[in-house]
Amino acid sequence: MSFCDEIERESQAQREAMAGHPFVGGIGDGTLPLDRFKHFITQDYVYLIDFARCLALAAAKAPDLATMSWFARAVDYILNTEMDLHRSYCAQFGITEAELNATRHAPTCYSYTSYLLRVAHQGSFGELVAAVLPCIWGYWQVGERLADQGAPDHDGYAQWIRMYAGPEQQAVAEECRAICDRIADTAGPAEIAAMKEAYITCTRYEQAFWEMGWTLEDWPV
């Protein structure tokens, strides 16, 4: 059993909570109130900025040129393609670029990105890869699950599902998982434990991110 197979088995409860959240179900059947989705998508935008920083640090920590190149391409894709697509997509929901740029992190988003950046700066390369995997792998799994249920009667949500269920997202998810397994193959017990902790923690944060959108979470003052 590979590291990722093992950690998926150990984190099944957390992964099911993430994939089975009512926010996800509302996207899948088209019933999610638009104000909740707009809150989520603006938070996702500011999350991506910090996520790109984490991938850049992964490129700097990578143990070989091929892996460094892969993470560098991932950073370029987020900053120069995905975020442009995000802005275009958000415009369909009436969210302007000015609103996106003015978005402040909600508490959960702030906590999640702060954790990722701490791991990126202080953790090992393996720990960092394990920390970013729940986002990359989890969104593809959610997209695939929703796509298998059939497109909702909501063009915007159907487009979101197609984006994350698509072959490009699948290829990125599978390569990140493969890198994680390769690092784990030569990691010692302490690093394996740190990788597992990072993976499970970020899987919990992924579920909390859906909850943040569901409850329209913001700072109380």
* Cβ contact 134:180 at 8 Å: no
Report how many helices (DSSP H) and strands (DSSP E) the chain contains, helices first.
12, 0
Give yes or no: 206 in active site. Answer: yes
Looking at 127, 191, 206, 217, which residue is catalytic?
206
- For residues 128-159, one letter each, b for 16 or more C-beta atoms within 10 angstroms of the residue's C-beta and e for the rest, the string is bbbbbbbbbbbbbbbbbebbeeeebebebbbe
Query: Residue 56's CB: how many other CB atoms inside 10 A?
Result: 18
Q: Give 208's contacts (C-beta < 8 A, 6+ positions apart).
A: 108, 112
Give yes or no: 197 in active site. Answer: no
Alpha-carbon distance values, 71 to 155, 170, 199 (Å): 32, 16, 18
Cα separation, 134 vs 198, whole angstroms: 9
Looking at 90, 135, 176, 202, which residue is catalytic?
135
List active site positions.
Answer: 135, 206
